[in-house]
Amino acid sequence: MAYVVGLRCRECGKEYPQKGVHVCEVCFGPLEVQYDYARMKGKVTRESIERGPRSLWRYRDLLPINAEPRAGLYSGYTPLRRAHHLEKILNVRELYIKDDSANYPTWSYKERVVSVAITKALELGYHTVGCASTGNLANSVAAHAAVAGMKAFVMIPHDLEQGKVLGSLIFGPTMVRIQGNYDDVNRLCSEIADKYKWAIVNVNLRPFYTEGAKTFGYEIAEQLGWKFPQHTVCPTAGGTILPKIHKAYQELIDLGLVEDNAPKIYSAQAAGCNPVVEAIRAGRDLIKPQKPKTIAKSIAIGNPADGFYVVQAVRQSGGWAMDATDPEIIDAIKLLAKAEGIWTEPAGGTTLAAAIKLIASGRIPRDESICVCITGNGLKTTEVVADQLDMPTSIPAKLDAFDAFIAELDGAGGTRELEPLAAGGPTP
């Protein structure tokens, strides 16, 4: 059953049919997908969702597609984990990690938006897809386009991590490195979308694409036993995921599927690119564009398309915002790995570091439930920790050499550090 009815301008309300447009021709406002929520009532239920596949498509009734899903059949439904070790270390009562570093097949939250965009592109008759990307989106578009048998053109800034570049190239797209930052790439892609009539997933298919991010929020609530964490800390780049988590929570409340406990949402950015955090701190709606300078390249967007809606969602939910310096980001990456066995990229380090600072400053109370959104995988960004870790000692393949190695470690107090913390429990 499809409940999507069309597109509507968020600013002036003008309505549009479902097609590859993203800005209002009257007022240039962004377009948003409209659903028939009244018709969903009583039909879209906890049970109807639980009967669905173990992928993001279990929420298809709440997504803007009319035909069958054509991409991402194995994407989404990533782990929500109780983080017992971090709870002890940070002295908080109830902490969860929503872990999209394990999202299949390219290990970031972008599988969610791309699965919906590619399905919609095929529904609308496109044969070629593209994107403007800070890396993860390019990986995901390239992989899903390969499965769907579509042509893919992916455009990235020229200075991305090698893991992100190879992580797209392997799938065989046409890839172009643009001499500029993400905002330059994005501007060029708007012109390309107009001229070449391709489905640029985050430009002309943006209204459909962004809806896929709601599944991150639905999953948090369902996996918590149809409850919301009281505090959700989420990274911000272009500003897609945060407002869509907010929208997902609101939809679940409106449909009567989850009780409203006034969940608060917090935006995390790198200190070297923090236009949204700055606006929230200053009590401004207006985002002042910046030139990014941070190791957190996947979230280094100085002029976020939906920054205003992040500010709105944070404010409406009663949340706040926090940034983290590059050294804080690296420390948080290492902490998450050692405490919980999750290797995230700098975007995840930013989010955990921001959460830690929000807890330390008293913005997030220690005795309330907290969810930290991990959106990408550290294996793609090995550069950022390579010089932080000591290369292992090399010894001959002889037991006495190993004995000598252990004696030296004990002398330095080395093995004592490895004492295990108390065992963690399963996700509720």
Chain positions contacting Zn ion, by CB under 5 A: 9, 11-12, 14, 24, 26-27, 29
Minimum distance between the CB of residue 135 and ligand PLP, rounded to whole angstroms? 7
Cβ-based neighbour number of residue 389 at 10 Å: 9
31: helix, coil or strand?
Answer: strand
Q: Site for ligand PLP (CB under 6 A): how many residues?
A: 17
Contacted by 347, from ligand PLP, Zn ion, none: CB < 5 to 8 Å by type: ligand PLP
DSSP letter at 100 equals: G
237 binds, among ligand PLP, Zn ion, none (CB under 5 to 8 A by kind): ligand PLP
> Backbone phi, then psi, for 4, in 5-degree steps?
-75, 135
The interface partner of residue 27, options being Zn ion, ligand PLP, none and the CB cut-off 5 to 8 Å by kind, is Zn ion
Question: Any contact of residue 186 with ligand PLP (CB under 6 A)?
Answer: no
Cα–Cα dist 101/365, whole Å: 26
Residue 40 CB, shortest distance to Zn ion, in Å, is: 26
When binding is defined by CB under 6 A, the residue of 30, 72, 376, 378 that contacts ligand PLP is 376
Residue 107, by phi and psi: left (phi above 0), alpha (psi -120 to 50) or beta? left
Q: Which C-beta is closer to Zn ion: that of 11 or that of 368? A: 11
What residue 375 binds from Zn ion, ligand PLP, none (CB within 5 to 8 A, per partner kind)? ligand PLP
**Residue 9 contact partner, candidates ligand PLP, Zn ion, none, CB within 5 to 8 A by sort of partner:** Zn ion
CA-to-CA distance for 38 and 348, rounded, in angstroms?
37
- Tokens 């990229």 -> residue: 345
What angle is formed at CA 39 by the lines to CA 36 and CA 41, rounded to 5 degrees?
Answer: 115
x/- map, 280-309, ligand PLP, by CB under 6 A: ------------------xx----------
Per-position x/- string for 226-265, each x denoting binding to ligand PLP as judged by CB under 6 A, each - no binding: ---------xxxxxxx------------------------
Per CB under 6 A, the segment of 4-12, 105-113, 219-227, 332-340 that binds ligand PLP is 105-113
* Closest CB to ligand PLP among residues 154, 241: 241
Rounded Cα distance, 104 and 202, in Å:
20
Contact 340, 376 (CB under 8 A): no
The DSSP secondary-structure symbol of 155 reads: E
Q: Which of 122, 330, 336, 347 binds ligand PLP (CB under 6 A)?
A: 347
For residue 345, the minimal CB distance to ligand PLP (Å) is: 6
Contact residues for 300 (Cβ-Cβ < 8 A; gap 6+):
134, 181, 182, 237, 270, 272, 273, 292, 294
Q: How far is CA 108 from CA 30, 63, 290, 383, in A?
A: 25, 19, 25, 18
By Cβ distance, which residue is nearest to ligand PLP? Answer: 376
- Binding positions for ligand PLP, rule: CB under 6 A: 108-110, 136, 235-241, 298-299, 345, 347, 375-376
